């Protein structure tokens, strides 16, 4: 019988916030265990001078932590769900999905100016191809600037630069206590969130029955169903977090509505649609919506995206 449970996480402030949140929940529920947090540096943390899309790979912020889990160096791993590939190592399983925070993206701007009032040719910083694509679809005149780093460094870069705006996830900003910096929470009609945005995943070894039982206590069922649909859509599209794909699942009673989008890198083409059905069949809903998007031109758009990324 174990007495100590080791939680693995990245070392950024936001990642540590998430790991500490999980730690606090589990300590309250299971006081008989001693919980500790161990930080693990990932490839995405080490390479900060190259846009994520050019590094390649689908596990930039999770691989090293998952390897530590496989090798019994930690007992559970806490990840931002949007960073977790749709195919995780066979030895591992998602034991819990946390309740979702605000899924929208936040605009940080000079003088709290809303996106609709930005001048022609305004420069906006973002590290996401999804945001870049959808912002350019909304306003082709925008000049997009790539930005990397943790939230602290991104705010510092913004304050030192002359960009008109910067777009980040609302959830991360609020968790860090910087909500007053948000100028506008961007409508989902303009920017759909990344798959899984707003939740984090707690992963354990598939054969660890005790840990699966422990984690079930912090799983949020509506968030689990919604994000399973989103991840099934992404899996069918064979995309990763560095592809211009957005998705948002909403569960109401026994119904699950999933909205998804695929965009070109320059934002000129975007296909967007939704599909809904029985909340108990999230994978079917995700797969069906993916097929609809592909048939509406998404397949051609993705082929062009993948071709450009390979070149």
Catalytic residue numbers, as ranges:
83
Task: Look at the alpha carbons of 114, 263, 57, 219 in this order and tell me if their dihedral is positive or negative.
Answer: positive
CB crowding 23-58: b at 16 or more within 10 Å, else e: bebbeeeeeeeebebbebebebbeeeeeebbeeeeb
Rounded CA-CA distance 112/251 in Å is 33
CB crowding 119-141: b at 16 or more within 10 Å, else e: eeebebbbbbbbbbbbbbbbbee
Rounded CA-CA distance 151/172 in Å is 8
* Burial grade of 80 (CB within 10 A; 0-12, 13-18, 19 or more): buried
CA proximity to 79, closest of 71, 68, 90, 34: 68
Cβ 118 vs Cβ 142: under 8 Å: yes
Three-state secondary structure of 247-298: EEEEEECCEEEEEEEEECCCCCCEEEEEEEEECCCHHHHHHHHHHHHHHHHH
Rounded CA-CA distance 88/254 in Å is 28
Sheet holding 270-278, edge to edge: 245-252, 255-263, 270-278
């Amino acid at each position: 019988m174990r007495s100590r449970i080791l939680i693995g996480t990245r070392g950024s402030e936001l990642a540590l916030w998430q790991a500490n949140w999980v730690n606090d929940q589990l300590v309250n529920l299971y006081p008989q265990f001693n919980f500790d947090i161990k930080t693990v540096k990932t490839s995405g943390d080490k390479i900060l001078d190259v846009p994520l899309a050019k590094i390649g790979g689908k596990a930039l912020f999770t691989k090293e932590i998952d390897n530590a889990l496989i090798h019994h160096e930690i007992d559970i791993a806490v990840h931002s769900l949007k960073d977790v590939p749709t195919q995780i190592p066979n030895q591992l399983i998602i034991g819990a999905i946390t309740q979702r925070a605000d899924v929208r993206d936040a605009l940080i701007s000079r003088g709290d100016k809303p996106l609709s009032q930005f001048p022609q040719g305004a420069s906006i910083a973002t590290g996401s191809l999804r945001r870049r694509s959808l912002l350019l679809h909304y306003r082709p005149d925008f000049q997009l600037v790539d930005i990397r780093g943790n939230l602290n460094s991104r705010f510092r870069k913004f304050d030192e630069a002359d960009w008109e705006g910067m777009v980040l996830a609302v959830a991360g900003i609020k968790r860090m206590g910087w909500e007053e910096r948000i100028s506008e929470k961007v409508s989902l009609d303009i920017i759909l969130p990344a798959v899984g945005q707003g939740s984090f995943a707690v992963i354990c070894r598939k054969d660890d029955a005790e840990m699966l039982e422990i984690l079930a206590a912090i799983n949020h069922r509506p968030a689990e169903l919604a994000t399973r649909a989103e991840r099934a859509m992404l899996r069918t599209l064979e995309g990763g977090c560095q592809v211009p794909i957005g998705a948002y699942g909403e569960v109401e009673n026994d119904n699950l509505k999933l909205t998804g989008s695929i965009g070109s890198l320059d934002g000129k083409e975007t296909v967007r649609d939704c599909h809904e059905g029985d909340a108990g069949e999230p994978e079917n809903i995700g797969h069906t919506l993916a097929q609809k998007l592909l048939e509406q031109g998404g397949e051609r758009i993705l082929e062009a995206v993948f071709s450009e990324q390979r070149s």
